[in-house]
Structure 1
Amino acid sequence: MVFLADLHVHSKYSRATSRDLDLEHLFWWTARKGIRVVGTGDCVHPVWLSEIKDKLVPEGNGLFRLKPDIEADILQTLPAACRHPVSFMLSTEISTIYKKGDKTRKIHHLIYAADLAAVDRLATALAGIGNIASDGRPILGLDSRNLLEIALDSGPDSYLVPAHIWTPWFAALGSRSGFDSIEECYGDLADHIFAVETGLSSDPAMNWRVSSLDRFRLTSNSDAHSPSKLGREATRFGCTPDYFAIRRALETGDGYVGTVEFFPEEGKYHQDGHRACKVRLTPAETIALGGLCPVCGHPVTVGVAHRVEALADRAEDEAPPPPTAGTTSSMVPLPEILSEIIGVGVASKAVTRAYDRTLAALGPELTVLEEQPIEELATAHPLLGEAVARLRAGRVIRQAGYDGEYGVIRLFEDGELDRGAKKAGPLFA
């Protein structure tokens, strides 16, 4: 069975997240996106963990489902094409901040567990180190190596994946606070790491330029801070949707298919720059400027593309996929495509209406973007068919993100869209 998993999300108990990030909305949006397995996020937060225990039931395979009565009520609110099973995986993101090698390290980590007893042990251990109740993604003064040890001790099937490994400020390989290798970050326990997360600002091809990453499976996830952002990146598996099969797929490759990615330029840390001065720079420009903003003279934020270039031991045209590689597809979220076609903001009512109608007519978002025949999409709306055809061919216009500012990926040139034709048809009425 081939399915998609999004295993890096948050709850409403994390900072800067939507109040809608509860289990019911996670289920609803996961089904609409076409995802089969979703992380719970924040599973060591005491209040969120209590909700997990109250509303989820074990499937007997390391994953969990909503209680039948809750699930049945939600399914009735979904279009028929989006009514499919959704399983939850116990997960959390932990932020560690500590001093090592005369440098302050700020690293984010994803931890997964197969049962609630393991989560209880993990929560108890972490509560003895710092406050795990103030933020769904707790910040702990703990060496990454020691966090990994605690994760491994929580249960025989628990595992840790370094999160968004290239993000400048909070990542294992980040330019501002990371290390130069996963081995440096996790020390003598690094052999227990078998997968890493690419993050929104890098794609597998960028990671393949660094040979020390060859041994890891690459995962992609949304890091959603609101339920509508689920599935903007995901990992594809070809195994039974259960915890142990997913873990085995990442560790051995048996059942690992690949990833669904942002175009990395859309990530908010792809290029170098200084957002306050609206300055975006290539790595070469940053080097020529001595790392300083040409407007104000302050240091710029070195982005992912630059950081990859600094650690790469292969040129772009000399980075073949390693044996651990899977297939990769790049996508633009459907609301962004509809926004471009209609000519209004992505959060507008017109886009919401068009999105809802598209799902009702054609099925879940990722099915529309990746699997639905172009002819069917064009029948629903000609511009939607053309947009998705261009997307699948990689024919996109890219404006790179930098210093916390998301990039923009467009499918049509300025002036190309017919202002009358774009509103034709029932989807956009």
Structure 2
Amino acid sequence: MKVYADLHLHSPFSRATSEKMNPLDLVGFAKIKGLNLLGTGDALHPAWLSQLSLALEEVDGTGLYKARGADENVLFLVEAEVETVHLYEGRVKRIHHVIFMPSLEVAEQLGEALSRYGDLERDGRPTLTIKPSELVETILGVDDRCLVFPAHAWTPWRSIFGSFSGVDSIEECYEDMAKRIYALETGLSSDPAMNWRVSRLDRFTLLSFSDSHSPWPWRLGRECTIFNLSKLSYKELIEAIRTGKVATLEVPPEYGKYHYSGHRECGVGPLSPAEASKLNYRCPVCSKPLTKGVEDRVEELADRPSGFKPEKNMNYVKVLPLHEVISAALKPGGMKSLQSKVVGELYENLVVKLGSEYNVLLHASYEELIQAAPREVAIAIIMVREGRYRIIPGYDGVYGKLELKVVQKGLEGFLD
């Protein structure tokens, strides 16, 4: 059974999160996208956990849940993200972690155990004054079926390898509990190939999720992890992660908001590692530190050349949200708003006629696409699928920009 899973989400109890991030609404958006397993988001928040207990029911002892009033085509895994704050070598380290739990009851027990380290009601993603090693020990002490791993591992702020508050290895972060860490989330600004350059990460399964705060198709499922399971259950899913039997859908890392260096406030960026290094990572306008890009940080920790592929590797496919592709196709050299009426209508027509967004992006033939969309949109989907595009890299909180202008010049006779 092939499972498309986005297991790092947030609830309306997290800051800047849509009210539509609730189970019933998410089921509808997940079907449009092509997802069949979602994270609950924020399961340690007491009020959200109470709502989840009313909105969800467990499916046949699987450790997974369905939304009441919905079918079982989209299920939920109990999940939360937390921030730990601790001192390391005289510096404050703020690091985010994702937690998978086998039941809502375990989430309640875990909330009780962690409440001594921070206010769980203040935010859906709570801040805990605790060392990462103690976090893992506490979680597994409540229930050793739980899984903990670093969230968005390379993001400059609040991540394990972040340039502003991170460390250089899993072992430095989790200390004696590192042996109980089996995976890490790559984040939007890195992909498996970038992580393969760091040999100390070879034993960890690379996961990709959206970390979305809204259900809109250009956010939900923009990255996901694919599982091939004989039975869809919490136990089998965790075993697949521990043994590395996964594949991922990834946005190109250049699309992420922190791939290259820069200083958004002064309009400086995107800067490649070589360009940023020449500036000594200082903004040439205001002299403040640049936000160092993920590409730069990977380069600092890498002990392998770019393009290295380990003998034991995973499959992954690069995708871009369909709204982004339609938007770029309609306005070569620029972008129409992802929320514009024309983009929305074309998107809806494609998914209604051809199935989910993933099917449109990955499998629909040109002949099928041309029956459901204008020629330039159909061609853009095929060319993005084939990697025939470029992206102006994201930097300092600015998303990368898909550019089809170069592609458009070569369309004469394409697929005629």
Q: Does 1:101 align with 2:81?
A: no
Q: Give the letter for the 2:234 counterpart.
A: Y
Deviations 1:128-160 (A, max 9, x none): 211010110011111111111122122121010
User: C-alpha deviations, 1:242-285, integer Å up to 9, x for none?
Assistant: 211110001013xx231100110010000011111111211122
**2:330·2:377 contact (CA, 8 Å) conserved in 1?**
no
Partner-residue secondary structure (3-state), 2:99: strand
Distance in 2 between the 1:341 and 1:393 partners? 15
Whole-Å separation in 2 of the counterparts to 1:154 and 1:29: 33
In structure 1, distance between residues paired with 2:143 and 2:339: 42
User: How far apart are the structure 2 equivalents of 1:288 and 1:98?
Assistant: 33
Gaps of 5+ in 2: 412-416
**Counterpart residue identity of residue 375, structure 1:** E
* Counterpart in the other structure of 1:62: 63
Aligned pairs for 1:302-341 (under 5 A) are 302-317=292-307, 319-323=308-312, 325-341=313-329
SS of equivalent residue, structure 1 residue 128: helix
Residue of structure 1 in register with 2:243 after alignment: 252
Deviations 1:193-238 (A, max 9, x none): 1110000000000000000000011000001010111110000111
Residue 43 of structure 2 contacts residue 79 of structure 2 at CA under 8 Å; is this kept in 1?
A: yes
Matches of residues 158-307 of structure 1 in structure 2 within 5 Å?
158-228=146-216, 229-239=219-229, 240-253=231-244, 256-280=245-269, 281-307=271-297
Match of 1:389 in 2: 382
Matched, 1:132 2:120: yes
CA–CA separation in structure 2 for the residues paired with 1:233 and 1:321: 22
Rounded to whole Å, the distance in 2 between the matches of 1:154 and 1:383 is 55
Matching residue of 1:408: 401
> TM-score, structure 2 length as denominator?
0.93
Cα distance in 1, alignment partners of residues 256 and 202 from structure 2: 23
- The secondary structure found in structure 1 opposite 2:227 is strand
2:3 corresponds in structure 1 to 3
For the 8 Å contact 2:330–2:376, the answer to whether it is kept is no
Mark the CA change 1:321 to 1:411 in structure 2 (over 3 Å): closer, same or farther: farther
Whole-Å separation in 2 of the counterparts to 1:362 and 1:20: 25
Pairing 1:378–2:379 present = no
Equivalent pair of 1:5/1:35 in contact (CA under 8 Å):
yes
Aligned to 2:291, the other structure's residue is in SS state: coil
Count of matched residue pairs: 401
**Which residue of structure 1 aligns with residue 13 of structure 2?**
13
> Contact 1:205/1:321 (CA < 8 Å) preserved in 2?
no
Map 1:340-379 → 2, pairs under 5 A: 340-343=328-331, 344-379=336-371
> So what's the TM-score if we normalise by structure 1?
0.90
Distance 2:50 2:85 in 1: 27
Q: 2:378 is matched by which residue type in structure 1?
A: G
Q: Match of 2:70?
A: 71
The alpha-carbon deviation at position 412 of structure 1 amounts to 4.1
Q: CA deviation at 1:384?
A: 2.9
| Aligned 8 A contact 1:271 1:305 in 2 | yes
Determine the C-alpha separation between the residues in 1 that align with 2:40 and 2:406: 39
Which residue of structure 2 aligns with residue 39 of structure 1?
Answer: 39
- The aligned residue for residue 111 of structure 2 is 123
Instruction: Find the aligned partners of 1:415 and 1:187 in 2 and give their Cα distance.
Output: 51
Question: Could you tell me which residue of structure 1 aligns to residue 414 of structure 2?
Answer: none
8 Å Cα contact 2:78/2:101 also seen in 1: yes
The alignment yields a C-alpha RMSD, in angstroms, of: 1.6
SS across alignment from 1:24? helix
CA distance in structure 1 between the partners assigned to 2:117 and 2:251 by the alignment:
36
SS at match of 1:120: helix
Secondary structure of the equivalent of 2:70?
A: helix
State the AA in 1 paired with 2:243.
Answer: T
% identical equivalent positions: 42
Q: What is the DSSP-based 3-state SS (H/G/I as helix, E as strand, rest coil) of the residue aligned with 2:141?
A: helix
Q: Which residue of 2 aligns with 1:424?
A: none
What is the Cα deviation at residue 23 of structure 1? 1.4
Q: How far apart are 1:415 and its partner, in Å?
A: 6.8
Single out whichever of 16-25 and 397-406 deviates more from structure 2: 16-25
